[in-house]
């Protein structure tokens, strides 16, 4: 759906890199944590709607736990020593040339 870096570590949304889930996770494990993540995101929405600050803190913590389990946050899932550039603008990273070569259609997603 979104352009993914050639090494499969990040996808790009509006020029910003976002870390992909760890591709080495077994499918059942990935599915479990995606479900936990979706439940936690719904809890964030509900807490915001009910204006419950304690529930919001708890729900956001659940989102973080799930994202770490998926490899999208926390320790990187690759082992070649490359730095994590999650949430950085692609044009300011080692992916700048790759990003500059993307066509407009892939950047509009």
Give the pLDDT confidence of 63-107 residue by residue, as tens digits. 999 999 999 999 999 999 999 999 999 999 999 999 999 876 566
Give the pLDDT confidence of 14-70 residue by residue, as tens digits. 999 999 999 999 999 999 999 999 999 999 999 999 999 999 999 999 999 999 999
Whole-number pLDDT of residue 105 = 59
Nearest CA to 98 out of 27, 15, 14 is that of 15
Whole-number pLDDT of residue 27 = 97
Q: What is the DSSP-derived secondary structure letter of residue 49?
A: H
Contact (CB, 8 A) for 22 and 77: yes
Residues 6+ apart with CB under 8 A from 102: 3, 12
Q: Where are the domains of the chain?
A: 1-20+79-109, 24-71
Q: What token pair was written down for 68? A: 């770490």
Contact (CB, 8 A) for 98 and 45: no
Whole-number pLDDT of residue 51 = 95
Whole-number pLDDT of residue 64 = 98
Contact (CB, 8 A) for 21 and 30: yes
């Amino acid at each position: 759906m979104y352009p993914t870096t050639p090494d499969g570590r990040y996808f790009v949304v509006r020029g910003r890199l976002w870390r992909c889930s760890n591709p080495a996770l077994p499918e059942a494990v990935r599915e479990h944590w995606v479900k936990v993540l979706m439940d936690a995101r719904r809890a964030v929405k509900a807490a915001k709607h009910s204006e419950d600050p304690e529930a919001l803190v708890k729900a956001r913590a659940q989102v973080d736990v799930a994202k770490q389990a998926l490899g999208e946050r926390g320790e990187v899932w690759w082992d070649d020593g490359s730095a994590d550039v999650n949430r950085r603008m692609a044009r300011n990273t080692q992916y700048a040339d790759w990003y500059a070569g993307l066509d407009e259609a892939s950047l509009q997603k």
